[in-house]
Amino acid sequence: MFKIVTKRMLNPSVVLLEIEAPFIAKKAMAGQFIIFRIDEKGERVPLTIADYDREKGTITIIAQIVGVSTEQLASMEEGDALLDVAGPLGIPTHIDENAKKVCVIGGGVGCAIAYPQAKELFSKGIEVDVIAGFRSKDIIILEEEFKKQCNDLTICTDDGTYGKKGFVTDALKEKIESGSKYDAVIAIGPVPMMKFVCAVTKPYEIKTIVSLNPIMIDGTGMCGGCRVTVGGEIKYACVDGPDFDGHQVDFDELMKRNSTYREQEHDCRMLR
């Protein structure tokens, strides 16, 4: 059993949980994820390891409440326990050792995944710009945390209620055009956002890493659920990723595959 030691609502639909998982905390690295089950009837749900504390033996996950399992997760309290947590899964994020300046971009709850990446790069002495995008002010998460782990934080809101009005792609374009020389861009968020970030960086030939979120089941490369096409080749995001070269990813196929079970997910919500 994996005990919840801290629970915090970051906004009405995003929950942060710190969980006792000493073996995972010992090995976890930025870019990796876990798959948990709440109980014997629970679905297998993949979530990124947003943070870890090797000494305390805990990992932190941040989940947006979007359906049955994440709602059930958010209803758990400190002292409750998850039945099982498998991980760390996936390949840690790799950035060229000679990189001097990197831009990390998070969209919505994608910021939970972008945060450990910014933290790791910043701890290595790399100059890190963070661009975090949200629909509006009331759903901003991790602002204070990001401030401590980067050289420059730009918050964008679609409706202009906080920070810069507009999309993360506008802010990125502005930074590049005003002379910021990035050795790499890391983009994590909704699939269309990652696709458009890649469209911005491509003409400048800036290496762009995206973290893909296809539907995962086993997380060990056996079921084929997380199949994605990268550079014309079949890859399995759970074992070959979840990070990939964004300029090689077939985003349209990913969007199509991610909507395969939309009807069942909807029915599922209706049954609650």
Ligand X SMILES: Cc1cc2nc3c(=O)[nH]c(=O)nc-3n(C[C@H](O)[C@H](O)[C@H](O)COP(=O)(O)OP(=O)(O)OC[C@H]3O[C@@H](n4cnc5c(N)ncnc54)[C@H](O)[C@@H]3O)c2cc1C
Residue with smaller CB distance to ligand FES, 236 or 244 = 236
Q: Does 29 bind ligand FES (CB under 6 A)?
A: no
Which residue in 84, 183, 218, 250 binds ligand FES (CB under 6 A)?
Answer: 218
Shortest Cβ 34–ligand X spacing (Å): 9
Angle at 85 between CA 80 and CA 87, to 5 degrees: 150
Reading the block at residue 9, the tokens are 């609502």
Stretch that binds ligand X, among 38-46, 143-151, 160-168, 228-236 (CB under 6 A): 38-46
Residue 268 binding ligand X, by CB under 6 A: yes
Question: Is residue 229 within 8 Å of residue 214, measured between CB atoms?
Answer: no
223 binds, among ligand X, ligand FES, none (CB under 5 to 8 A by kind): ligand FES
9 binds ligand X (CB under 6 A): no
- Per CB under 6 A, 254 contacts ligand FES: no
Tell me: does residue 92 bind ligand FES (CB under 6 A).
Answer: no
Task: Tell whether residue 236 is a contact of ligand FES (CB under 6 A).
Answer: yes
117: contact with ligand X by CB under 6 A: no
Report the partner that residue 258 touches, choosing among ligand FES, ligand X, none (CB closer than 5 to 8 A by kind): ligand X
Residue from the set 90, 116, 133, 219 that interacts with ligand FES by CB under 6 A: 219
221 interacts with ligand X by CB under 6 A: no
Binding site for ligand FES (CB under 6 A): 216-219, 221-226, 236, 238
